[in-house]
Amino acid sequence: MNMATEQTRATRHWLWLIGVAVLAGAVAIGLWRRHPSDTGVSDGARRPIPVMVAATKAQDVPIFVSAPGAVQAWNSVAVRSQIDGKLTAVNFEEGQEVRQGDVLAEIDSRALKASLNQAIAKKSQDEAQLTSAQRDLGRSQALLPRQVVPQQTVDQQQATVDQLKAAITADQAAIEAAQVQLGYATITAPMDGRIGLRQLDAGNIIHANDPTPLTVLTLIRPTAVTFNLPQSSLFEVREALLRGPVATTVLDQDDRQQLAQGELRFLDNQIDQATSTVRLKARFANDDERLWPGEFVRVRALVDTRRGAVTVPSPALQRGPQGFYVWVVKPDDTAETRNIDAMPVDDTVTIVTTGLSSGERVVVDGQSRLEAGARVEPRSAQAEQTPD
């Protein structure tokens, strides 16, 4: 028992010594953190904080407005029949390019031709009757002075002549109407364009009131892109249009590949109050047909160019309680904050209107480790991006 007791006392003694040592170490570390100068390391000897910097510069900055848009045909026509009849021929291929006036389809026209011939015959008949009536009128008028015929007979003959003249005028109108109907039997292209899907084949009966057209003809050279912009962009767009043509670029949905260049042509005459947006339309020559009706794209319109603007990379921009600020690296490689007035252009460039001058260095990466007056080790962002 005495030996076990001695071992227990020895164990407690060592545990007590270890606890005292740990406590003394913790106190020493705390004192070192609170008073680092006591250990012989001064603030000035701290290691500089590495940061990425870029120089502000003055440059011309294009100002764009951007929005998603949709391609639509510059002109589109649903090709329909204007009469009822049997479709005897379809003279186009789907996807074919046609010119205005090309014959697209033909309808059985035999009944229409018969109606036209009937109207022509009726006019000839009335013209013969008019000739006879005019001769009778002439004879009556010659005999009237000698009182061989009464005045009433002359008047009746004159009325007959007038009626036949009116009938001939009506016959001519009937002939023209029949010619128009006969012309409808040949369906022609109303404009240049590309043919869409064929909805009816030869041999089917086509009607003037069919809900589905024979085909749809679209003009895609040139083509249009429509898009909406927020009401806040209205002023700068209107100002740009007043200065002249507004260059517009179309990119794919991923906003990576440029598809076409054109110009803004139309600004809607009112704002949609439900969405607080205004509708615009741009025109593109589309000679290479890279834009297709119904395609969704991204649209960028150049509304202004800021000449000689002081710019910083957008990653340098920070937002605080008082607005925008940046970390500036002074000539002695210490950091300070600088409040600025800024206008972000995109993810890469920000225009600074006040607070910075060209050539100053700003921090673009590593701001979270900085404090006012901290020494930094500046590294050029451009140098880091340059391959070896």
Tokens of 211: 């809900």
Which pLDDT score, from 0 to 100, does residue 88 have? 95
What is the DSSP track for 176-210?
HHHHHHHHHTEEE-SSSEEE------TTSEE-TT-
Residue 24 lies in a domain: no
Which pLDDT score, from 0 to 100, does residue 28 have? 53
C-alpha span between 155 and 101 (Å, rounded): 52
Asked if 264 and 108 touch (Cβ cutoff 8 Å), the reply is: no
What is the rounded radius of gyration, in angstroms, for the C-alpha atoms of the chain?
45
Residue 144 lies in a domain: yes
Which pLDDT score, from 0 to 100, does residue 256 have? 87
The CATH number of whichever domain residue 56 belongs to comes to 2.40.420.20
Which position has the token pair 């106190």?
27
Residue-wise pLDDT tens for the chain (388 aa)?
A: 444 555 556 566 556 566 656 666 655 555 545 444 444 444 445 789 999 999 999 999 999 999 999 999 999 999 999 999 999 999 999 999 999 999 999 999 999 999 999 999 999 999 999 999 888 888 878 777 777 778 888 788 889 999 999 999 999 999 999 999 999 999 999 999 999 999 999 999 999 999 999 999 999 999 999 999 999 999 999 999 999 999 999 999 888 899 999 999 999 999 999 999 999 999 999 999 999 999 999 999 999 999 999 999 999 999 988 899 999 999 999 999 999 999 888 888 999 999 999 999 999 998 888 888 899 999 886 655 444 4
> Residue 148 — φ and ψ, nearest 5°?
-75, -35
SS3 157: helix
Boundary of a domain, candidates 132, 163, 184: 184
Boundary of a domain, candidates 156, 184, 212: 184
Q: What is the pTM of this model?
A: 0.67
Tell how strand 376-380 and strand 49-55 pair up: parallel
Domain holding 120, by residue range, is: 109-184
Residue 286 lies in a domain: no
Residue 116 lies in a domain: yes
Indicate the residue type of 271: I
Residue 355 lies in a domain: yes
Which pLDDT score, from 0 to 100, does residue 35 have? 46
Residue 243 lies in a domain: no
Boundary of a domain, candidates 154, 184, 214: 184
Residue 353 lies in a domain: yes
Looking at the fold, whether 122 and 57 belong to one and the same domain comes out as no
**Residues with Cβ within 8 Å of residue 248, at least 6 apart in sequence:** 225, 261, 262, 263, 264, 282, 284, 299, 300, 301, 302
Asked if 303 and 246 touch (Cβ cutoff 8 Å), the reply is: yes
The CATH number of whichever domain residue 158 belongs to comes to 1.10.287
Domain count, the chain: 2
Which pLDDT score, from 0 to 100, does residue 40 have? 41
